[in-house]
Structure 1
Amino acid sequence: MERDLVLYASLVLLLVPHVAGGIVLGRKAAAGGGVRGETESYAVIFDAGSTGSRVHVFRFDENMNLVNIGDDIELYVAVKPGLSSYADDPQEAANSLIPLLEEAESVVPEELQPTTPVRLGATAGLRNLGDEKSEEILQAVRDLLQTNSSLEYESEWVTVLEGYQEGSYLWVAMNYLLGNLGNKYSDTVGVVDLGGGSVQMAYAVSEEAAANAPNISNGDDPYVTKQLLNETNYYLYAYSYLNFGLLAARAEILEAVDDPYSYCMLGGYTGTYEYNGEVYNASASPSGSSYNKCRTEAIKTLKINETCTYEDCSFGGVWSGGGGDGQKNIYVASFFYDRAAQVGFIDPEEPSALVTPSDFEEAAKTACNLSLEEANVTYPNVAADDLPYICMDLAYEYTLLVNGFGLEPSQEITLVSKVKYGDSYVGAAWPLGSAIEVVSSQSTQSLAMKKIRPLWLQW
């Protein structure tokens, strides 16, 4: 078997066309409209998140560079709420995707639809529903795609993502967009993705560090996987912390306090918080919010002091990957970017910004000194539903970065919502990584006919 794989890999490399001028895959000089031909490929990826469902459509040329779909580098459409909101009505959950499916099919040429893969990856929202209810929803989605779509579909392409997949897909997407794939691992960037239900950390480690990764129990996600990307082997540490996304963490913090109120809630607020079908008391203390006391609540929630059997730990007894050069440059996405932009310590018009964890601390201290009424004036860009939690959210984000992931308060990190690619900007999200994987897999299966250069080979 091993000899056959080596021969297959050799054949692939012989058939792969070498690109003149040393073009690095993923950094096309100008992401133009391109000319439709036999070597172009599309991929349709549904992101079924805890707060909503989104569809991404990507178009690749023969060298696995992204090219425009009309005037944009990708099609992106979103709806709310997410699939997990239809826990008792799987059919309605599937039906909520119909507008997204119709939009996706409208931009894929009709003759390419039968060979255009459609995938759906569900994340923390469905993970939290439990196996039975989540599977009922996924089956309804499979039935919808099988009967209502002309796109290429396989049952296993509609699934709840394993935690490490979500992190590794984002890592691939980010390093693809930055032109890092093919470089040594120390020249790649690590990623942190703070969603609603979970938070992911992913970065490349040395072969030696990978060899020393802890053994895992049967059925658990591996800490490190080996990936062959742009003809370069990477050992990728990726871990997803379920229930430590921003919205889930609110519930954890509110549940962990001993008092009938929380020092993380802005003064003057009385109410409840609902998450994953559970209701929590979310009233402020009589004296209002307190940054120091809120930090204490956040640290308690992260289980910083939980017993860890490994040499290097993050929080909750989880192996951290050991750090190293692959983690020296960190790109931080999703709710980290959103809250920073909403409270104003980064420019919401810019797709990325260099900050430090200390910026979150300073923003949290400011927010925690305000009453709800004062915050309403200070933060006009924060949604009304989120405003009572702004002290909690910022304090938690700082605690997660410093106490959870072990970053220095002064370490520079890049907050990112989009990455510049040619003349366009592409969203910093895991679906691009999934698209690269499925298109590369197809290209290796029919390489002699399609002549598509594989970016991600896996065997």
Structure 2
Amino acid sequence: MRQTGQKTSSTHRGAIKSEEPKPVVPHGPEPAQLGRDVRTARAHQVGDAPPGLFIYVAYIKWHQPSTPQALSSITGAAHTSSGSAARAHEVFYGIMFDAGSTGTRVHVFQFAQPPGETPTLTHETFKALKPGLSAYADDVEKSAQGIQELLDIAKQDIPFDFWKATPLVLKATAGLRLLPGEKAQKLLQKVKEVFKASPFLVGDDCVSIMNGTDEGVSAWITVNFLTGSLRGPGRSSVGMLDLGGGSTQITFLPRAQGTFEASPPGHLTSLQMFNRTYRLYSHSYLGLGLMSARLAILGGMEGRPAKDGKELVSPCLPPGFRGQWEHAEIMYRISGQKAGHLHELCASRVSEVLRNKVHRAEEAGRVDFYAFSYYYDLAASVGLIDSEKGGSVTVEDFEIAAKYMCRTLGAQLHLSPFLCMDLTYVSLLLREFGFPGDKVLKLTRKIDNVETSWALGAIFHYIDTLNRQKGPTL
């Protein structure tokens, strides 16, 4: 059995998002009541209670290292988080920095590997600092202080004898992607200088900016490692859906030859783990993350203020609503249309935004999927799942919730005015991916009591690659 990982954290959130703040959600008992209302609406529509379902959320990314060095001194007594020794186990550590738009986080992972078996996660330490690296774009020197503070956390957590064998990696996400190239590179160079001065294992590729495919593949590694799907051949794997602020990803392991033959260029990628090669279907859709989709639905354009401060009017906002919304440091004036059937009008507008944007892999509808980030947040915000424990939803649950919120949102001023828009977008996006209405998705912040993070998949793949380059594999 895989040992249960333990985690210390400076925040209450289990799923780390690296793009935009999560949607405004109601406080107090409202989500539970909303959930009851939505379930009632669903029962009235389909004449039955929703079937049991299951989903999972987290924001994760992938790293494909080129470091020629390998771990050479990772054998010894594996120590659990309580400090007890586990004889005949190998123990090794990995440090992954997540440099997101809202903050920088460090994850310190401890793994133990029984002889002849795949590794287990035995401990994780997590610490987050604000603001994100991108906030220091005009004063690069100040970025070093926060990085050093997080490195000190790693030094406290990892025994001295393991420092030189522990890989240290930073992956930057949305915040640095949006910066001009020269500013981003200066920040990364400063981080690399701090890393090089540390006692840890640092390669030439220790600091970089991630792309969308990296995100999807690392997410897939994390969830399949935690569910045990990577332990041996013949085990059923699960797919991964992630909905961030600027992009959305889908990744799964195809079994049907037709999927390989019909996949567009750039939708297939190979991954080596544990002496096995996985040929994955993985694609990231830039601009289809929830925040970018909001802007597109409103009729705005990324990085451009509305012309002459023009108000953006949308059929997806409550009739009579008027307010402001900030996205990518630009403030937009927004308002709802005065009349009309909100859901029908909103669905029509969302369909325009999604038209010809998403490739539909028919096999995806037959694969078990976990979903991360905004899928979880939205389901929790309307009571479809417990906000802490997660729960189960179908694609149709999102559709029923969208129709309900579009019909009633105008009378619930304490709720986010974007709920009709966001739920309609998510339900139609899932349909575009090829999922039927009764498709079960799994949302949870933990698997086997281990909180999820893209960093786990990224560092795991990094270490595995280092070992393959050296000779023996994990």
**TM-score range for the pair, normalised by the shorter chain length:** 0.7 to 0.9
1:103 Cα deviation from its structure 2 partner:
2.4
- Hey, what does 1:46 align to over in structure 2? 97
What is the aligned length?
384
Q: Matches of residues 2-401 of structure 1 in structure 2 within 5 Å?
A: 35=85, 39-63=90-114, 64-69=118-123, 74-147=124-197, 149-182=198-231, 187-206=236-255, 208-209=257-258, 212=261, 216=265, 222-255=266-299, 260-267=312-319, 269-287=321-339, 290-302=342-354, 304=355, 306=356, 316=357, 319-320=359-360, 322-324=361-363, 328-350=367-389, 352-371=390-409, 374-376=412-414, 387-401=416-430
Distance 2:204 2:327 in 1: 30
Calculate the aligned-residue CA RMSD, in Å. Answer: 3.2
1:54 Cα deviation from its structure 2 partner:
2.3
Is the 8 Å Cα contact of residues 123 and 161 (structure 1) preserved in structure 2?
yes
Distance 1:289 1:427 in 2: 41
* TM-score, normalising length: structure 1: 0.74
Structure 1 pair 368–95 and aligned structure 2 pair: CA distance change class (3 A): farther
1:287 Cα deviation from its structure 2 partner:
4.2
Distance 1:263 1:91 in 2: 46
Structure 1 pair 289–59 and aligned structure 2 pair: CA distance change class (3 A): farther
Is the 8 Å Cα contact of residues 112 and 122 (structure 2) preserved in structure 1?
no
One-letter code aligned to 2:388: E
Structure 1 pair 112–248 and aligned structure 2 pair: CA distance change class (3 A): same
- Hey, what does 1:23 align to over in structure 2? none
1:280 Cα deviation from its structure 2 partner:
2.7
Distance 2:105 2:445 in 1: 15
What SS does the corresponding residue of 2:418 show, helix, strand or coil?
helix
Structure 1 pair 100–330 and aligned structure 2 pair: CA distance change class (3 A): same
1:67 Cα deviation from its structure 2 partner:
4.2
Q: Between the two proteins, what is the percent identity of the paired residues?
A: 34
- Hey, what does 1:417 align to over in structure 2? 445
Is the 8 Å Cα contact of residues 311 and 333 (structure 2) preserved in structure 1?
no
One-letter code aligned to 2:119: N
| Post-superposition CA distance 1:173-200 (Å, at most 9, x none) | 1111101115557821110011122111
Is the 8 Å Cα contact of residues 266 and 289 (structure 1) preserved in structure 2?
no
Structure 1 pair 185–121 and aligned structure 2 pair: CA distance change class (3 A): farther
Which sits farther off after the overlay, 120-129 or 252-261? Answer: 252-261
One-letter code aligned to 2:349: E
What SS does the corresponding residue of 2:113 show, helix, strand or coil?
coil
Structure 1 pair 406–128 and aligned structure 2 pair: CA distance change class (3 A): farther
What SS does the corresponding residue of 1:156 show, helix, strand or coil?
coil
What 5-or-longer segments of structure 2 have no aligned partner?
A: 1-74, 302-309
What SS does the corresponding residue of 1:40 show, helix, strand or coil?
strand
Is the 8 Å Cα contact of residues 97 and 170 (structure 2) preserved in structure 1?
yes
- Hey, what does 1:428 align to over in structure 2? 452
Structure 1 pair 298–439 and aligned structure 2 pair: CA distance change class (3 A): same
- Hey, what does 2:42 align to over in structure 1? none
- Hey, what does 1:20 align to over in structure 2? none
Which sits farther off after the overlay, 285-294 or 31-40? Answer: 31-40
Distance 1:207 1:33 in 2: 46
Distance 2:299 2:233 in 1: 44
What SS does the corresponding residue of 2:225 show, helix, strand or coil?
helix
Distance 1:183 1:42 in 2: 22
Is the 8 Å Cα contact of residues 299 and 312 (structure 2) preserved in structure 1?
no
1:85 Cα deviation from its structure 2 partner:
4.1
Structure 1 pair 285–137 and aligned structure 2 pair: CA distance change class (3 A): farther
Distance 1:335 1:287 in 2: 29
Is the 8 Å Cα contact of residues 364 and 394 (structure 1) preserved in structure 2?
yes
What SS does the corresponding residue of 2:453 show, helix, strand or coil?
coil
1:447 Cα deviation from its structure 2 partner:
5.6
Distance 2:228 2:235 in 1: 14
Structure 1 pair 126–399 and aligned structure 2 pair: CA distance change class (3 A): farther
* TM-score, normalising length: structure 2: 0.72
Q: Matches of residues 440-451 of structure 1 in structure 2 within 5 Å?
A: 440-446=464-470
Is the 8 Å Cα contact of residues 243 and 249 (structure 2) preserved in structure 1?
yes
Structure 1 pair 97–372 and aligned structure 2 pair: CA distance change class (3 A): farther
Distance 1:326 1:432 in 2: 27
Distance 1:246 1:31 in 2: 37
Structure 1 pair 349–104 and aligned structure 2 pair: CA distance change class (3 A): same
| Post-superposition CA distance 1:417-440 (Å, at most 9, x none) | 2211xxxx2233321111111222
1:201 Cα deviation from its structure 2 partner:
0.7
Distance 1:299 1:285 in 2: 18
What SS does the corresponding residue of 1:363 show, helix, strand or coil?
helix
| Post-superposition CA distance 1:330-349 (Å, at most 9, x none) | 11111111221122111123
Structure 1 pair 364–100 and aligned structure 2 pair: CA distance change class (3 A): farther
What SS does the corresponding residue of 2:338 show, helix, strand or coil?
coil
One-letter code aligned to 1:161: M
What 5-or-longer segments of structure 1 have no aligned partner?
A: 1-16, 18-29, 217-221, 307-315, 380-386, 449-453
1:209 Cα deviation from its structure 2 partner:
4.8
Deviating above 6 A after TM superposition, structure 1's stretches of 4 or more consecutive aligned residues are none
1:408 to 433, 436, 454: 436
